[in-house]
Amino acid sequence: MGNISGFTTTQLITEEQILTLPSLETLDALEIGEIAKSLCVIRNLPVAIEVRIGDWIVYHASLPGSKPEND
């Protein structure tokens, strides 16, 4: 499998499986997004954060320094 930014495709698939929750309410999704944003702002990370429930994007933030391809 390939290598994306230091991660193998297998590692990314494993990470996705670990981070996929069996259920998620809207307020929980918003809280997860805000926590992630706060941590990334403190660390000055140029990232885009997205929290979904199925196909629905419940939370999205593009922090300073991130680019459209970070989405």
- From first to last of its 71 residues, the chain has per-residue pLDDT tens of 455 567 788 988 998 889 888 888 999 999 999 999 999 999 999 999 999 998 999 999 999 999 988 88
The upper half-sphere exposure of residue 20, i.e. CA atoms within 13 Å in the direction of its Cβ, equals 8
Q: Minimal CA–CA distance to 45: which of 31, 32, 64, 29?
A: 64
**Beta 56-62 vs 48-53: how paired, if at all?**
antiparallel
